[in-house]
Amino acid sequence: MNQPNIIMIVSDQHRADWMGNAGASYLQTPNLDRLAEGGVRFTEAYCNSPFCVPSRMSMMTGRYPSRTGVYNNEHILSSEMPTFAHALGLAGYETVLCGRMHFKGPDQRHGYGQRLVGDITPTYNGGPTTPYGRLKGTAGQGKNSLELSGPGDSPVLRYDEAVISACEQFLAKRNLQETSQRLFLTVGLYGPHPTFICPPDVYEQTSAALRDIQGIPRDGEPLHPWVADWFRRLKIDDVTAERLHAVRASYAGLVQRLDSYIGRVLDAANSLPGETIIVYVSDHGEMAGDHGMFWKQSFYEGSSAVPMIWYPLTEGSKSLIAQGRTIDVPVSLIDLAPTLVQLSGAPEMPGLDGWDLSSLLKPDEYPEQDQIWTGRPVFCEWQSSRMIRLGPYKLNYYDGFPPQLFDLDNDPLEQKNLFEQYAYYAVREELLKKLKADWNQEQIREQLALKKSDIQYMTQWGKAVGFGRMDMWETYYDDY
């Protein structure tokens, strides 16, 4: 088999529709547009959890969170569970992680042979954090994340610069070695994750571009009970129009900054010998003010839908990846693992929930109307809640709250909940049946409760003893 080099770029919190090629004409994303125009873009790709660690561990293993046992950012993936990094190592690849993957616990590789830059967030529960100075707390989901948004500098910007610089240096050095071993390189960026701060010159441009662009308005009263509870918990009912604009302009600036980093990766990878494939995804989205909401942990499209683009960087790899194609069937991040296995010739991974996308990527195959794909359900899980996407319909099944049902073909902004409408009774029952078929909500509640005391104890140990700055990015305190 003619194995291609594979470079996978994974950003953090980039929503699917904030790219020029996805219709966001107010954003300047020439490099993402180049990937979409010259490769295959999946227009309906989803994360498998709208939260960092469970999404990423699901992505790497090809298994849903309810099968990895990783439900939130405190949970640790078992080192016994295979990942696509293990698979590509078995296929003979040099496997390198440059930057972020948000691993938690003592195993900071999970199959990668080496790591060039550590993470920006704690690598174990109770471990040290990156100093944020006056911006402390703005990477999380809290009101100061919104209040301190705007132009400036931040650890997020400096971290991503360090990751890209290390990637460029690694590829330049590797090219001099004239090795015939194929490369699987994952470039893990933290942007456009908050803090909502971008360089002043970029902010000036995005602020002007977004001046007349309105997001999805807040849902009308009475709010759906889950949405009402979200506002109660986060306490952000009084966000002004001016502050909303600052957040959106800053987030847009972070997306454009991300795009420039992708361009630098493409330039650095151009000289790799043989064929090279670029894969771009993000771990989950960002609400960015839609429905009056921010951040993640939501099943709304802004939070759960993600970009996914496959691109043939070199002339020879055009035999593997089509050019200028959009695929409009629902897929998800768990599909990465079986697809990478197929493209690399790796041994088949056990226990996969994902599907191999390679037949949708090939130039000579395009089953656009294939009922196998259009009839396949895709799931997104957040702890003991679950979402199902099947055809045009999406059902959000919350723990402790009534469900939501949306027809995305006729209501892409998700403003009309159809769950209680008699005309959609058959649809909702079909979706509920499929959603619950291999998923046990009560069992997950029990698992979450059992993990809680262990996590509390180990966090206490992490703070008092710990591993030091294990695999963390080496930075320094600054007031930013």
**Amino acid in position 120:** I
The pTM of this model reads 0.96
Q: How far apart are CA 9 and CA 103, in angstroms?
A: 16
Residue 390 lies in a domain: no
Angle among Cα 115, 339, 387 to the nearest 5 degrees reads: 95
The total of other beta-carbon atoms located within 10 Å of residue 436's CB is: 13
Residue 11 lies in a domain: yes
Q: What is the mean pLDDT of residues 25-52?
A: 97
Residue 457 in any domain: the answer is no
Could you tell me what percent of the chain has a pLDDT over 90? 89
Measured CA to CA, the distance from residue 40 to residue 358 in angstroms comes to: 11
Q: What is the pLDDT of residue 368?
A: 56
Domain annotation covers residue 391: no
Q: Is residue 27 part of a domain?
A: yes
Type of residue found at 274: G
What is residue 479's predicted lDDT score, i.e. its pLDDT?
A: 66
Does 421 reside within a domain? Answer: no
What are the helix (H) ranges across 386-440? 425-436
- Whose tokens are 């951040």? That residue is 295
Output phi, psi for 10, to 5 deg.
-120, 115
Helix axes 52-61, 336-344, angle to 10 degrees: 40
Q: Quick one: tokens of 229? A: 């509870």
* 319-336 pLDDT, tens digit each: 789 999 999 999 999 999
Of the candidates 340, 283, 335, 310, the one whose C-alpha atom is nearest the C-alpha of residue 87 is 340
| Residue 418 lies inside a defined structural domain of this protein | no
Domain that residue 24 falls in: 5-365
How far, rounded to the nearest angstrom, does the alpha carbon of residue 261 sit from its chain's CA centroid? 17
* Phi/psi at 430 (5° precision): -65, -45
Residue 357 counted as domain residue: yes
Among all chains, which residue has been given the structure tokens 């009560």?
A: 442
CA angle 241, 246, 252 (to 5 degrees): 125
Q: How many independent structural domains does the chain possess?
A: 1
Continuous H helices in 69-221? 84-90, 143-147, 155-177, 200-209
Per-residue pLDDT tens over the stretch 424-474: 999 999 999 999 999 999 999 999 999 999 999 999 999 999 999 999 998
Indicate the DSSP class of residue 288. Answer: T
**57 has a pLDDT exceeding 90:** yes
Distance, CA of 129 to CA of 133 (rounded, Å):
11
Residue with tokens 């509920």: 432
CATH number of the domain that 169 lies in?
3.40.720.10
